[in-house]
Homo-oligomer: A and B are copies of this chain.
Amino acid sequence: MQFSDLVRDQNGWETRSTTTHFADDHLAVVTESVQTPAQAEPKRWTTVRRKAAVVIAAMTGEKKFLLVRQERIPIRAAIWEMPAGQIDDAGAIEETVRRELREETGYELAADGELMPLGHYFSSPGFTDEHGYFFLARGVERVGASEDSILECRAFSAAELRDMIAQNEIRDANTLSMCARLAARGLFSFGAKE
């Protein structure tokens, strides 16, 4: 697992050494000695490296957003989330968006739909380089079923999303962070009426 374009040595950052403790297809645990711009001496730090991901706000013609409910083994719970998935080929981010949207929701971008990139975010920058690229898929339509790992897929209004966030029902970083980015860009309203 390598550095991404986004996470790399530049502007005073310099990796002096790397020791790998564990690695499989999904993550690597490394302890590095890193010279930072602000510290006098290199600092040792343990990082979990992960592939980057895409996170998708899929908006239907009725301006509802698709959420999928799936079992998440690390937290021993099934939760409602926006569709998302890891990027296997760094040059194929938009293809990943389209594939994950289709697989997780059974929806595709309509002929007059639009895919809008909305920047990125880091899920837990104190311990992992994992980051997610946000996309708004405006204008999606149902073409089939979700893949088997998805328990349920449903479209929710902005007001329903807002209430689920307030009540701690939506509680994953992907969905919460996406809603913040959308709202800051004027693409989602936390003040929406039912």
* B50:A127 contact, CB within 8 angstroms: yes
Of A34-42, A87-95, A106-114, the stretch lying at the interface with chain B is: A34-42
Interface residues of A in 137-157 (CB under 8 A from B): 151
* A72:B125 contact, CB within 8 angstroms: yes
A32–B126 Cα gap in the complex (Å)? 25
A185–B58 Cα gap in the complex (Å)? 23
Minimum CB–CB distance for A53 against chain B, Å: 9
Cβ of A183: which chain B residues have Cβ within 8 Å of it? Answer: 162, 180, 183, 190
Q: List 18 A-B contacts (CB under 8 A).
A: A7-B74, A7-B77, A27-B29, A45-B73, A47-B73, A48-B48, A50-B127, A72-B122, A74-B129, A119-B168, A120-B171, A121-B171, A122-B172, A124-B128, A173-B173, A176-B177, A176-B181, A183-B190
A-side residues, CB < 8 A to B, are 6-10, 13, 21-22, 24, 26-27, 29, 32, 34, 36-39, 43, 45-48, 50, 71-79, 81, 119-131, 151, 162-163, 165-166, 168, 171-173, 176-177, 179-181, 183-185, 189-191
